[in-house]
Copies of this chain bind each other. A is one copy, B any other.
Amino acid sequence: MILSQDELARALEAANAGLDTALERLDALLRIPSISTDPAHGADCRAAADWLAAELTALGFDASVRDTPGHAMVVAHDRAAAGPHVLFYGHYDVQPVDPIDLWATRPFEPEIVTAENGERRIVARGASDDKGQLMTFVEACRALRAVSGELPARITILLEGEEESGSPSLAGFLDAAADELRADIALVCDTDMWDRHTPAVTTMLRGLVGEEIVVTCADRDLHSGMYGSAARNPNHVLAGILASLHDKDGAVAIAGFYDDVAELPAEIAEMWAGLDFSAADFLAEVGLRIPAGERDRSVLQQITSRPTCEINGMTGGYTGDGFKTVIPARASAKVSCRLVADQDPQKIRDALRAHVRARIPEDCGVEFIEHGAAPAIAVPVDGSYLAAARQALTEEWNEPAVLVGSGGSIPVVGEFKRRLDMDTLLVGFAQADDNIHSPNEKYDVESFRKGIRSWIRILAAIAT
């Protein structure tokens, strides 16, 4: 269905008028602590799925909660409209909240606070990633239906509950439900704007390899006064391995790591050179000054177009209050590599494991635990849907929408391509300071309001 200019204007106005009640609905969703990686929150994940299915049913969708081997999916269809078929994807699960003592508010008791600059912010775990973002699309559907009684396109909504824990059930679910999910284009709302004023479509996404390394030495914990020095300490072994992952110039020192890494295409490099990006400001925002990555690459490249290797967690021995003079039997680290372009996740995992194994003393052991793998994604930049979305975003924000790369990984985009042969438009309204995955996560009320309005415009433009 093609919207008239009057219908579009009234839908945009409905989004403004309904903002407070939309925020109340988001508040209700944010109160559900749907931490997917923590088995203790299994029932909460189910509650979030049920809440969303009920909301979408009330909005006129044919919505249901679908079981998977892990957390459930929510699938909702509106088959009424004659336009193109659009699949919207978001995820209702959230990251853990630790370290809890660094939160100024309770993570699952959302508060709307006004910042020094007058901006209003919704503060809660998931406010930005991804509950606030996914609700921009749901609320856009609400405004469109309120104005014209139906939606401008045939819409399917897919909401996942395992995005923050490696999406173990996603591939199987896409295969099983391929017929109802395959659409002309997928829309994903899980990315950032370029800055507060400049909308962005993300066309490059890095891949990810997650790996846990467990070093084992003695067959029991030992007293460091009795065994220290003579008995191999897995903390020492692991520290040595972790320290060896990078060279002194900030490059990853795993053999073969950069083998399949291509240089940035000239046209993208040119567009980025024209962007107003200050590495100093980017780091200063989080209290840093000196780039830590590859010395011969710009910070913008380091965070978007270059592969990385980061220690996301490490633990060994006694880490509670006080002191315990122990030599532990084991120590472990969680390491993730971000991949670009043609890097093969399995090849990188193998290279990482070989690097580690070569550094394990003869009488010690190592175990590896896989935590997900996804190759990098490049979205074609010449499609008509992309052109329509850029135009719609430019009109809403009064700034030309830019095409950017994202340092993060959104494995679903690759799965959509691979399993459903479907391209994806990545449009999001998050800001760099949203503290996603961190204490005090927030989403700007303006991101939420103009995000809703952006989707109204994008859906209208796609249906044209």
Binding site for B on A (CB under 8 A): 37-39, 95-96, 98-99, 102, 164-166, 192, 206, 208, 210, 212, 217-233, 235-236, 238-240, 242-246, 250, 279, 282-283, 286-294, 299, 302-303, 306, 308, 310-329, 331-334, 336, 338, 361-364, 371-372, 406-409, 432, 435-440
Contacts and interface: CB of A to CB of B under 8 A. Distances in A.
Contact of A323 (B165, B363, B436): B165
Contacts of A312: 224, 235, 317-318, 323-327
Given A289-B363, A323-B372, A436-B223, A317 B314 contact: yes
Contacts of A38: 320-322
Nearest to A35: B322
Nearest to A225: B408
Contacts of A299: 230
A311 B233 contact: yes
Nearest to A95: B324
A437 B440 CA distance: 38
Contacts of A206: 225
The 6 closest A-B pairs by CB, nearest first: A225-B408, A37-B322, A229-B293, A219-B287, A239-B242, A313-B317
Contacts of A279: 230
A312 B414 CA distance: 43
B313 A318 contact: yes
Contact of A230 (B283, B311, B314, B336): B283
Contacts of A238: 239
A331 B314 contact: yes
A166 to B, nearest CB: 6
Interface centre among A317, A323, A408 (most CB of B within 10 A): A323
B288 A232 contact: yes
12 contacts: A102-B221, A219-B287, A222-B437, A228-B293, A228-B407, A229-B293, A229-B310, A230-B282, A239-B311, A312-B327, A318-B334, A319-B319
A246 B236 contact: yes
Contact of A242 (B98, B236, B287, B372): B236
By CB atoms of chain B within 10 A, which of A239, A320, A409 has the most? A239
Contacts of A287: 217-220, 363
Contacts of A240: 239, 243
A370 to B, nearest CB: 10
A99 B221 CA distance: 9
A224 B289 contact: no
A362 B230 contact: no
B229 A39 contact: no
B338 A225 contact: yes
Q: Which of A218, A236, A283 has the most CB of B within 10 A?
A: A236
B292 A232 contact: yes
Contacts of A282: 230
A439 B222 CA distance: 9
Given A229-B293, A243-B240, A290-B361, A320 B235 contact: no
Contact of A227 (B212, B225, B286, B290): B286
Given A233-B310, A319-B332, 13 more contacts: A38-B322, A39-B321, A208-B325, A221-B439, A222-B437, A225-B409, A232-B292, A233-B292, A235-B310, A239-B242, A313-B319, A314-B317, A324-B437
B286 A218 contact: yes
A287, A290, A332, most chain B CB atoms within 10 A: A287
B210 A323 contact: yes
A312 B320 CA distance: 11
Contacts of A331: 314
A286 B231 contact: yes
A299 to B, nearest CB: 5
A423 to B, nearest CB: 21
A339 to B, nearest CB: 11
B96 A320 contact: yes
Contacts of A372: 323
Contacts of A291: 230
Given A231-B283, A231-B286, A286-B219, A407 B226 contact: yes
A21 B85 CA distance: 82
A283 to B, nearest CB: 7
